[in-house]
Structure 1
Amino acid sequence: MDRTPAQTARAQLTAFQGQLIGPEDSGYEDARTVYNAMIDKRPALVARCTGPEDVALAIGFARERRLPLAVRCGGHHGAGLGTCDGGLVVDLSPLKDIHVDPEARTVRVGGGCLWGEVDRATHEHGLATPSGIISTTGVGGLTLGGGLGHLTRKCGLTVDNLLAADLVLASGERVRASAEENSDLYWAIRGGGGNFGVVTSFLFRLHEVSTVVAGPTFWPVELGAEVLAAYRDFIPHAPRDLNGFFLYGSVPPGPPFPEEIHLRKVCGVVWCFAGDDTDAAAGAMAPLLDALPEPLVHGVAPMPHPAIQSAFDGIYPPGDQWYWRADFVDDIPAEAIDLHAKFGAELPSWKSTMHLYPVDGAVHDHAPTDTAWSYRDVRWASVYAGVDPDPANAGPIRQWTVDYFEALHPFSAGGAYVNMMMDEGQDRVRAGYRDNYARLARIKADRDPYNLFRVNQNIRPA
């Protein structure tokens, strides 16, 4: 009888310390599941790795057998790029070490950590680093794609705070990437995704951020055009301590929101002022609030930084159907505002949403060629996300997302944030990196010439 890949791996990889899980094993269904329930792939083998040695063994097994190779940390990617059919998944979830150095203001993070785990550890010292907006997101995926979040305007992208990373390459070689070591690789992984190796450890710069003044301001969706126009004019001139992303969505059906507005469609801003001075926060928000009608709710208050980081976790647990599209945006003319208002009023489910994340402030302190992330000159990153727990609604949420994207794409800067893209083809990947793509392709040819790491927003070897 022929052995399964899992049985073969267990027989051959005798030094492997973690778990090797195949379809015949009792834990397989759990091991293959990712965040987006629209993704239903069946890998031949899931290798839960306990350290770099396990990662190297798993990579070697996939390389020698020419198996598709996917790498998973939090498994949040909308296109399901943390898994694959018939291949090997390197599952980093056991790599959970976190070490905060409060004097150096750094944190070393294992490649399997989730951002909520990091936020809690750094918060004990009154420190933080930019880390997205949903705390169940994996550190690896968010970081390697760039990293937008509540602290972007003050502290930059997550990659702007990445000081070093330890990787296992396609060859199995273990290397460190930093400004001093393997600087080409260090440049590439700051936005170039998982194309160049498996990161088993990250070293991040930390900032003095402990208590923040944060929360949502919601207006009726009928005011969408007016609110978006005011937000467009306001946020580029707001102080860097104030981050706020615009959204279309629905009021969650639970506290702290008043019952009479539960599930009501709204537009609004989710704020995060990086400090505990409520007067300064109110003053920073005032030009926008004073220019608009009274909101349905202004739920802004002092809170620990991890609280705003995890505020969306309960709304978006694992197991929902997701379909995403995205773009970078430099200007939002009146015609685009009207289209946003149209689609924002037609949300196909209460969890579906559109976000406009500001890409300015500290992000603009870097040139487009300083890191692989090239869109340093735009002002927003838009994302359209159709979300619903019911598989029967997968079609409608996908159609709304695609229609919304196609209507607004002519007003975009051309490319998109790779962490918010589906599997949309090479032209979209190239557009996401612009002039940096050629350099990335050369580094890819040097570090992964046979494109072993291709289950991603793929940069093909030059």
Structure 2
Amino acid sequence: MPGTARSLTRITRSDRDFDRLRRGWNQRFQANPFEVVLPTDTREVSLALQDARDRGLPVRIRSGGHSVDGFSAADDAVVIDLRSLDGIDIDPDAKYAEVGAGARIHAVYESLAAHGRVIPGGVSHTVGMGGFITGGGLGTLARWLGAMAHNVAEFDIVDARGDIRRVTPQREPDLYWACLGAGGGNFGVITKFVLRLTPMPTAVWFRLSWPWNHFEAVYDAWQRWAPSADPRLTPFLAMWPTTTANRIDVGGLFPGTEEELAGLLAPLFDLGPAPAEREVTVTTFTAAMSALLQKIADDSFDSSTRAVTASPFFAEPLSHDVFGALRESHVGPPGNSFVWCLPGGGQLTAAADRGTESFAHGRAHHLMLIRSDWSDPRDDEACTSWAGSLYRHVSHRATGAYLNWTNTDIEARPQLFYGDNFPRLVETKHRYDPDGVFDFDNGIPASVSLRQAQRLALPDTMVAELRSRGRLVE
């Protein structure tokens, strides 16, 4: 029956493809859902959601399945898998692209490259656009163009009742604000984004490298320079362990000329030692992202692996008392373990000042991305302990955590993911999803009890704001 739930493609536990389709990217978290539904358009997403509600079944939303903690699936739930909503439609002037939530990020890059356009995305090829954008979406162009959340003009969403909404900053400013930075699975099923595009037919890729024994001097020089560098630069810092490259790198993409780049890098060299290696190449954004992925790991990094992450934001440069822990953590760590850092400033700060999106970390000084991935379950304890130990050594300096690189075993306080926006997000959740249709561990609730506030260690100011917004249950 066309137009009804019977027309949906459902993969159940008795189907041959079920085991493959139930699996997310992180093999540590593998749920056994009731079924996986594969809608082909926004209307079918609405049908799938209403059908699950009618049957009293919980719902999870999956765009690419890269939720590090496995939040895009659950036992006995209906997983609405958006992989077929992968369209990429670029307007004739190449100013905007309409992109499906299930589109994979590298496919988007390749489509935009044909028009000499870019978006400020990340490295991994198979990440789905839906979760990446709604968690903020940081990448190698973030100081120049902001996060991905800052580049969304409008989007389509299926709300908790199954209604389809076209959301813009003018039409529904609260929902627009909430979904762009805190929207992954919390307020509805986003099926399509309209993204603003930026011309960048070519760019200069650079990588500077120092031997590991220069770690402290290079990190200190980088953190004093990068967040206030020219906003066209988003120079990452990569710490490669002694078991692999045994070095520390600074690299990135610059949308200008080699001559301009040389002048902009000079202040870094004034602050620290000269690099042992320099690589400067005129290239494209897509080619640079592919090359960078190859430097990180093999194909398993991007497709299916066991992984753990942590992601502290810092409001100021790190003091030397934490450098020892960082240095020691890279001496013979387990698995494929490494740390990246991204600087703040530039358009990230400008977007925070505008306040039209809920991404809470635009004023951060820098972000540290801690990661380990491996294949053997017997290495679980060693690798997760490595990430947790390193995080604990720096967490007393942290002011937030990145929603796209979660580790809720060691950090589950919502105020670190959502900052001071949490009370307003709870109020927005109550307005659009009062019954908690989109409910999962560590999701945004529609109200908070005093006992929950105590368990979550919410600060008194946040509790007071929840009360003033009518979302604190006494």
Work out whether the TM-score is over 0.5.
yes
- Pick from 137, 144, 151 the counterpart of residue 154 of structure 1: 144
Shift of 1:392: 2.0
For residues 357 and 433 of structure 2, the distance between their equivalents in structure 1, rounded to whole angstroms, comes to: 19
After superposition, the C-alpha distances for 1:292-333 in whole angstroms (9 at most, x for unaligned) are: 445454333111111122334442232221011111111211
Tell me the equivalent position of 2:470.
none
- Pick from 386, 391, 395 the counterpart of residue 405 of structure 1: 391
For residues 227 and 68 of structure 1, the distance between their equivalents in structure 2, rounded to whole angstroms, comes to: 49
Distance 1:425 1:147, change over 3 A: same
Tell me the equivalent position of 1:301.
281
Aligned length, in residue pairs: 438
Structure 1 stretches of 4+ with a deviation exceeding 6 A read: none
Tell me the equivalent position of 1:256.
none
Shift of 1:61: 2.3
Shift of 1:216: 3.1
Tell me the equivalent position of 2:464.
none
Is residue 170–residue 453 contact of structure 1 (8 Å, CA) maintained in 2? Answer: yes
After superposition, the C-alpha distances for 1:235-280 in whole angstroms (9 at most, x for unaligned) are: 12311111111121259xxxxxxxxxx93322222311123x1111
For residues 96 and 134 of structure 2, the distance between their equivalents in structure 1, rounded to whole angstroms, comes to: 18
Shift of 1:394: 1.6
1:172 counterpart letter in structure 2: G
| 1:265 is the counterpart of 2:246 | yes
| 1:455 is the counterpart of 2:440 | yes
Is residue 211–residue 247 contact of structure 2 (8 Å, CA) maintained in 1? Answer: yes
Tell me the equivalent position of 1:257.
none
Deviates more, 1:420-429 or 1:319-328: 420-429
Is residue 116–residue 199 contact of structure 2 (8 Å, CA) maintained in 1? Answer: yes
For residues 80 and 325 of structure 1, the distance between their equivalents in structure 2, rounded to whole angstroms, comes to: 14
Is residue 94–residue 117 contact of structure 2 (8 Å, CA) maintained in 1? Answer: no
Give the TM-score normalised by structure 1. Answer: 0.90
For residues 375 and 78 of structure 1, the distance between their equivalents in structure 2, rounded to whole angstroms, comes to: 19
1:190 counterpart letter in structure 2: L
- Pick from 187, 193, 205 the counterpart of residue 177 of structure 2: 187
- Pick from 301, 308, 315 the counterpart of residue 330 of structure 1: 315
Distance 1:425 1:13, change over 3 A: farther
Tell me the equivalent position of 2:200.
209
Distance 1:99 1:381, change over 3 A: same
Deviates more, 1:113-122 or 1:281-290: 281-290
After superposition, the C-alpha distances for 1:6-62 in whole angstroms (9 at most, x for unaligned) are: xxx99x82232xx21011101112111211122221111001110112111221122
Distance 1:65 1:249, change over 3 A: farther
| 1:381 is the counterpart of 2:363 | no
Q: Secondary structure, in 3 states, of the residue corresponding to 1:264? A: coil
For residues 394 and 178 of structure 1, the distance between their equivalents in structure 2, rounded to whole angstroms, comes to: 43
1:232-247 alignment, distance < 5 Å: 232-247=223-238
Tell me the equivalent position of 2:338.
353
For residues 270 and 352 of structure 1, the distance between their equivalents in structure 2, rounded to whole angstroms, comes to: 19
Structural RMSD (CA): 2.2
Is residue 134–residue 311 contact of structure 1 (8 Å, CA) maintained in 2? Answer: no
| 1:130 is the counterpart of 2:120 | yes
Is residue 228–residue 345 contact of structure 2 (8 Å, CA) maintained in 1? Answer: no
Distance 1:311 1:435, change over 3 A: same
Q: What runs of 5+ residues in structure 2 fail to find an aligned partner?
A: 448-474
Q: Secondary structure, in 3 states, of the residue corresponding to 1:243? A: coil
Q: Secondary structure, in 3 states, of the residue corresponding to 1:109? A: strand
2:420 counterpart letter in structure 1: D
Q: Secondary structure, in 3 states, of the residue corresponding to 1:300? A: strand
Tell me the equivalent position of 1:230.
221
Tell me the equivalent position of 1:5.
none
After superposition, the C-alpha distances for 1:62-115 in whole angstroms (9 at most, x for unaligned) are: 222332311111111211122111111110001121111252611110111011
1:12-23 alignment, distance < 5 Å: 13-16=5-8, 19-23=9-13
Distance 1:54 1:445, change over 3 A: same
Q: What runs of 5+ residues in structure 1 fail to find an aligned partner?
A: 1-8, 252-261
Q: Secondary structure, in 3 states, of the residue corresponding to 2:359? A: coil
Shift of 1:215: 4.3
| 1:24 is the counterpart of 2:14 | yes
Q: Equivalent pairs: percent with the same residue?
A: 27
Is residue 353–residue 384 contact of structure 1 (8 Å, CA) maintained in 2? Answer: yes
1:110 counterpart letter in structure 2: G
For residues 375 and 347 of structure 2, the distance between their equivalents in structure 1, rounded to whole angstroms, comes to: 36
Q: Secondary structure, in 3 states, of the residue corresponding to 1:202? A: strand
Distance 1:290 1:106, change over 3 A: same
1:271-310 alignment, distance < 5 Å: 271-275=252-256, 277-289=257-269, 291-310=271-290
Distance 1:68 1:218, change over 3 A: farther
After superposition, the C-alpha distances for 1:111-160 in whole angstroms (9 at most, x for unaligned) are: 11011111111111111111122232111111001110011010011111
For residues 427 and 389 of structure 1, the distance between their equivalents in structure 2, rounded to whole angstroms, comes to: 26
For residues 391 and 303 of structure 1, the distance between their equivalents in structure 2, rounded to whole angstroms, comes to: 39
- Pick from 173, 178, 182 the counterpart of residue 163 of structure 2: 173
Q: Secondary structure, in 3 states, of the residue corresponding to 2:322? A: helix
1:445 counterpart letter in structure 2: H
| 1:248 is the counterpart of 2:239 | yes
Shift of 1:214: 1.5
- Pick from 67, 91, 94 the counterpart of residue 81 of structure 2: 91
Distance 1:213 1:250, change over 3 A: farther
1:377 counterpart letter in structure 2: R
